[in-house]
Amino acid sequence: MLFALICKDKPGHLQVRLDTRPEHVAFLNDLNAKGALKFAGPFLDGEGKPDGSLVVIEAADNAAAQAIAAADPYAKAGLFESVQVRPWNWVFNNPASA
């Protein structure tokens, strides 16, 4: 089952994001190697600076998706103001259905 992790950064925490990015990228690379990561990237503010994240993962259920979200180094570093974990259906341009 797919889940969208919709993460909003705390205001004024860009440096936390920048400092934690190497660990976050390693975490996503590990998810990708396990086949759990479908895609990911930052949301951008009006100045083009990152201010959140969208991460789409495959997980067994909501509890497993919540655990993955909580294990993200960005979450552990206190970067996020909020994190929504929502079931998601990839309908269009899904490479798995091609």
Q: Hey, what amino acid is at 62?
A: N
Amino acid 95: pLDDT: 87
Amino acid 97: pLDDT: 80
Q: How far is CA 24 from the centre of its chain?
A: 9
Per residue in 33-72, pLDDT (tens digit) is 999 999 999 999 999 999 999 999 999 999 999 999 999 9
Which residues share a beta bridge with 87?
Answer: 3
Which one-letter DSSP state was computed for residue 98?
-
Alpha-carbon torsion (9, 23, 77, 64), positive or negative:
positive
Q: Find, among 52, 27, 56, the residue nearest to 42 by Cα.
A: 52
Q: Which CATH architecture has domain 2-91?
A: 2-Layer Sandwich (3.30)
Taking CA atoms, 75 is separated from 46, 53, 94, in Å, by 23, 11, 28
